[in-house]
Structure 1
Amino acid sequence: MKDKIYNSMQKFSRAIIQPVMFMAVAGILIALAALLRLEFMPKFLITVGEFINNVVVGGMIANLSVIFCVGIATALVKDKKGDTATIAIISFLIFLFANNFWLNYTNSIIEPTDIGLAGTGQAKVLGVQVTDMGVFIGILLGCIVGYVVNKTKDIKYHEYLSMYEGTKTSFVAMLFVASTLGVLVTYIWPFFNTLLTKLMVWISDAGPVGFFIYGIVNRLALPFGLHHLLWVPMSYSPVGGSAVINGTTYYGAQNIWFAELANMNSITEIDPSIGSLVNFGYTAIPLGIAFALVHTAKKENKDQVKALMIPAVASSMLAGITEPIEFIFLFSSPLLWIAHTLVYGFGMFLSFILGLRVFVGNIIETILYVLSVPMDMGRQWLIPIIFIVLTLLEYTIFVFMIKKFNLNTIGRTEMPDEQKINEAKEKRDRMKGKSNNSISNNIDEDDAKTALIVDGLGGKDNIKYIENCFTRLRIELKDPNKVDREILDLYPSKGILQSGNNIQIVIGLGVEEVKNKVVKELEKE
């Protein structure tokens, strides 16, 4: 039962990250639009900025629920993704009109006020007035569509009814499910909305303590690949806060921040929900880790450790991908991981109590956001001060703990050399009964590395499903006992996590390319 629940959470986490991957790009575009719309800019650039802002905010941010619905549904199914996308969008539309019909039928439709429908519990989605569920309805429908399609897409009927089999059956099933759900939420959602509002109020009242706890739990969930289950609700649902901006209600810290950027000329302060987005975990903290690991490495290993640290820190600071550096010490010392989570949470706590009110992410994001917000509103001058404090704090704690407890972090034990890797490859070839000079009978180095993944996972027939998120390959296996870690460890990954039939291989940047190579390897005869 425990494994089944964990596997379900893994699948959901894997699915929900697909649409979220595009949100970072949207944020950059909105920040760019805010810069172009500054008063001193030429009129042409201001017009361009307004165009970008209206397109991204109106076309994407305002319609996240339908984006989540389609994105999650297609991510959950293993094939028939085109049909699934069609069923998902139709199901979403059916829900809207069923819900709107029932609100009218029961005389529950609320008339807009001077500020529209903000705060009324209803909203217009794709032009239809419905119960305001924010992104939750998209997430819920996406999960249901994915489940229904997986269960019914292979159904076969008599030849006279063959036109209704497969995904056509899925479509019919979703007609009933979506329309029924549209009616039920008018009675059920107000209860859940009350609970979410209380949770939001607790986080808001907790202030810096709430963000401190959020930061700790966020990092603790990372090794299991479940941090998205916490981060997504904080960013895109009422759990992360709500704010009325220019008559429109926005839910979730990231949605609120994007709306504020789009309306910077008409707001007077940044909403407190920004606390979950002020995160030096991409910049200052990884830099402190790198300095500490280099400092504590043996003299003869320092150059090799530096060579590993530079790309790991760069991927974090420039692209917001932290796994390459975090997984370097996670497996060697869980004790360091606990210390790291505390500093991570403390960074959010410190930023909030000092009054920093600007989204702090990777360097590129942070620069754009800093330039988009007036200094008296965002207090950006605090960034270099907090950056230095957190870098020194992480560095000091790591150096102290590594030396005090004699932890076997990278560079303090024997570093692998090319000879040992070749010896391991030869051992692998002997184990598999293959040529001593090739891997999977292919002399191409990229194919050889890809073959290590496939063979290490127990071969093609043992791989049930493979997908990727930002940094990881996520694989579902038929038989976990067939995994050969001796072979799998030869692949230059950042770490490997296994729980039952599910295994994650941390790749870092370029993970999608690796996934595509593995898929091609699986398709070979």
Structure 2
Amino acid sequence: MKKRSGLVNVFETFGRSFLLPVSVLPAAGILKGIGSAFTNASTIEMHPWMANQTLQIIMGFITMIGSVAFDNLPVIFAVGVVVGLAKQEKGSAALSGLLGFLVLHNTLHYLLSVSGQLVDKSAKNADQLMSLHMQTSVLGIQTMDLNVFGGIITGIVVYLVHKKAIKMQVPQVFGFFSGPRLVPILTIPAMALVALGFFFIWPYVQVGITALSFAILKSGYFGTFAYGVIERLLLPFGLHHGLNWPVRTTELGGIFTIDGHQYAGTINAYMAALQSKLPIDPMITRFSSGKFVYNMFGLPGAALAMYMTAKPEKKKMVGSLLLAAALTSFLTGITEPLEFTFLFVAPALYGVHALLVGTTMVVTNMVGAAFLTPTGHGLINFLIYGVLQGAKTHWWWLFILGVPCFIMYFLVFSFVIKKFNFKTPGREDDDETVALHGKDEVRAKLGVKTQKDRDQKNNMPPIHEHALALIAAHGGEGNISAVDACITRLRINVKDEDLVEKDRIVNQLNAMGFTKSGMQMQSIYGGYANQLKIEIQSILGLGE
């Protein structure tokens, strides 16, 4: 298989970096979903007993806790993206991400103020003026409305600074400021320059993003179908996160007006819609509702088709495997055991699945289904975000469409499997083991290398040989129990000090001095010590 382009690698890395910041959203969403279900005005009108003051206080508190994450997504992404991208010294990366975010918005506040563009927040129509001039308040700072994009770009910029600065050698006199301490120092001017660029460029970028957002919304059912197909086709390559999370958290997912306020991204819009008395716009949920249908009904239908087409003597064995995988998909929305299995045995079958996904999502959107979840499209989240939110989500469409979807998947998969004699579980040759297949196995078979694979293979910095020599001079990997560093000293704890080659460390490995404290060997390397620590930890697989 041809080597993947740099653009694809960047896209995958970018998508993977979203995993850490968005990991908080399911728990926060569950809290907010449960709280919203009991505090929604429309639901209270239907069930007056919910108006109990004590219940409302408790549920309001739960809603507030869940809202913390959604109300602060930009700063969560600023910290989360850089931590997700950084491979070493993640503590320094996190601190620098937060600092960079504060520098960005404080600089923008200053530029808006000195240029006379800062909206007067005391005006009667301040909210409308702020929206008109693309301004907002972030952590109490009045600034340009960058939404989650500000956090994402901050995370990427700080990661690039972190990647270079953490291994940058500085003059010995400034050794204290080397390594992880240098990252936040360089982050300040870097993010100030980024803010300056934002000040002049962002208004034009915002116009383009808004236009693209409207284009996506106006793409209608074709856009929904295309999204469903493309998102599934990106999954085997690990690229689907780069498509999903910009749609869920930024203007690319749409800009929706709810009760006079604008919300960017499908998650923010849906959470706001749950609090409103107005019906939920199905365009908010068009990239989510259909996932519940094919996860909970479609894929189990495919599992039944594979079971029914299995060889009689293998049905008992394959039945238990497929039943477990189907239940996992139905309850939690985790589809990997099924999807990667038929991708492994027959990629064409996965292509059929992608087309069925697009079709399911279009039909679900057409009927007006309006349920959404930050992640995990299974029964558990459906109950929280769909059923508990009341009639406004039109949750019953899941079951009305689910049965036909189950039948569609069963009939199509049965036909295709038999027609092309695909070796799905239970149809293998007699000498082959019945098994489901995971993503690592599939990618190995197809020759697909992810960016993570490339990182693990190619992460060979210039100091690598030096670090290997130091490991050997300390008695080898088995003799080392811990690795650390202070400002100037590399500190390596050993089990047997007699195995440590002290003269070699000083005379051949360029240490400026050597001492010990108990079983801790201390080699003086100045500001270079921290870089050696990082490399040795990486080689030995030791935590910081």
What range is the shorter-chain TM-score in?
0.7 to 0.9
**Which residue is 2:371 aligned to?**
358
Amino acid across the alignment from 1:267: L
Match for residue 399 of structure 2 among 378, 381, 384: 384
Distance 1:72 1:384 in 2: 37
Distance 1:63 1:106 in 2: 27
**Which residue is 1:83 aligned to?**
92
Amino acid across the alignment from 2:29: G
CA shift for structure 1 position 246: 4.4
**Which residue is 1:108 aligned to?**
117
Deviates more, 1:22-31 or 1:223-232: 22-31
Contact 1:118/1:244 (CA < 8 Å) preserved in 2?
Answer: no
Amino acid across the alignment from 2:378: N
Distance 1:416 1:46 in 2: 63
Contact 2:12/2:242 (CA < 8 Å) preserved in 1?
Answer: no
The answer to whether structure 1 residue 52 and structure 2 residue 65 are counterparts is no
- State the TM-score, normalizing by the size of structure 2: 0.75
Distance 1:397 1:108 in 2: 60
CA shift for structure 1 position 4: 3.1
Deviates more, 1:322-331 or 1:162-171: 162-171
- Please list the CA deviations of residues 342-361 of structure 1 after superposition, one character each: whole Å capped at 9, or x if unmatched: 11111110011111122272
Contact 2:248/2:265 (CA < 8 Å) preserved in 1?
Answer: yes
Distance 1:324 1:120 in 2: 49
Distance 1:403 1:479 in 2: 46
Deviates more, 1:379-388 or 1:321-330: 379-388
- SS of residue matched to 1:250: strand
**Which residue is 1:20 aligned to?**
22
Distance 2:385 2:415 in 1: 35
**Which residue is 2:82 aligned to?**
73
**Which residue is 2:331 aligned to?**
318
Q: Residues 94, 114 of structure 1: CA spacing in aligned structure 2 closer, same or farther, 3 A cutoff?
A: closer
Distance 2:174 2:393 in 1: 63
Contact 1:115/1:247 (CA < 8 Å) preserved in 2?
Answer: no
Amino acid across the alignment from 1:476: Q
Amino acid across the alignment from 1:99: L
Distance 2:349 2:454 in 1: 25
Distance 1:204 1:5 in 2: 26
**Which residue is 2:37 aligned to?**
35
The answer to whether structure 1 residue 157 and structure 2 residue 176 are counterparts is no
Distance 2:262 2:140 in 1: 15
Amino acid across the alignment from 2:245: V
The answer to whether structure 1 residue 273 and structure 2 residue 284 are counterparts is yes
Amino acid across the alignment from 2:187: M
Contact 2:314/2:426 (CA < 8 Å) preserved in 1?
Answer: yes
Distance 2:102 2:186 in 1: 15
**Which residue is 1:405 aligned to?**
420
> % of aligned pairs identical?
27
Q: Residues 474, 330 of structure 1: CA spacing in aligned structure 2 closer, same or farther, 3 A cutoff?
A: farther
Distance 1:521 1:400 in 2: 52
CA shift for structure 1 position 415: 6.6
Distance 2:192 2:22 in 1: 27
Contact 2:92/2:184 (CA < 8 Å) preserved in 1?
Answer: no
**Which residue is 2:250 aligned to?**
237
- SS of residue matched to 1:272: coil
CA shift for structure 1 position 167: 2.2
- Please list the CA deviations of residues 25-79 of structure 1 after superposition, one character each: whole Å capped at 9, or x if unmatched: 222111110223252223222111111212321x211110110111111111112
CA shift for structure 1 position 8: 2.5
Contact 1:236/1:251 (CA < 8 Å) preserved in 2?
Answer: yes
- Please list the CA deviations of residues 353-409 of structure 1 after superposition, one character each: whole Å capped at 9, or x if unmatched: 11112227210111122234342x332222211111111111111111111111122
Distance 1:388 1:259 in 2: 31
> What is the count of residue pairs matched by the alignment?
436
**Which residue is 2:522 aligned to?**
none
Contact 2:82/2:155 (CA < 8 Å) preserved in 1?
Answer: yes
Distance 1:48 1:372 in 2: 17
**Which residue is 1:205 aligned to?**
218
Distance 1:228 1:344 in 2: 17
Give runs of aligned pairs for residues 361-510 of structure 1, distance below 5 A.
361-375=377-391, 377-414=392-429, 476-478=456-458
Match for residue 306 of structure 2 among 293, 297, 315: 293
Contact 1:254/1:277 (CA < 8 Å) preserved in 2?
Answer: no
Contact 2:294/2:405 (CA < 8 Å) preserved in 1?
Answer: no
- SS of residue matched to 1:79: coil
Distance 1:108 1:172 in 2: 29
Deviates more, 1:245-254 or 1:208-217: 245-254
CA shift for structure 1 position 110: 2.9
- Please list the CA deviations of residues 1-38 of structure 1 after superposition, one character each: whole Å capped at 9, or x if unmatched: 84433332232222111111221222211111022325
Contact 1:13/1:228 (CA < 8 Å) preserved in 2?
Answer: yes
CA shift for structure 1 position 90: 0.6
- Please list the CA deviations of residues 100-149 of structure 1 after superposition, one character each: whole Å capped at 9, or x if unmatched: 11111112223452645335411111111211111111111101111211
**Which residue is 1:492 aligned to?**
none
Distance 1:236 1:390 in 2: 29
**Which residue is 1:122 aligned to?**
135
Amino acid across the alignment from 2:33: A
In terms of Rg, which structure is larger?
2
Match for residue 258 of structure 1 among 267, 271, 282: 271
Q: Residues 100, 522 of structure 1: CA spacing in aligned structure 2 closer, same or farther, 3 A cutoff?
A: closer
Contact 1:118/1:247 (CA < 8 Å) preserved in 2?
Answer: no
Distance 1:78 1:367 in 2: 38
CA shift for structure 1 position 247: 4.8
Deviates more, 1:407-416 or 1:385-394: 407-416
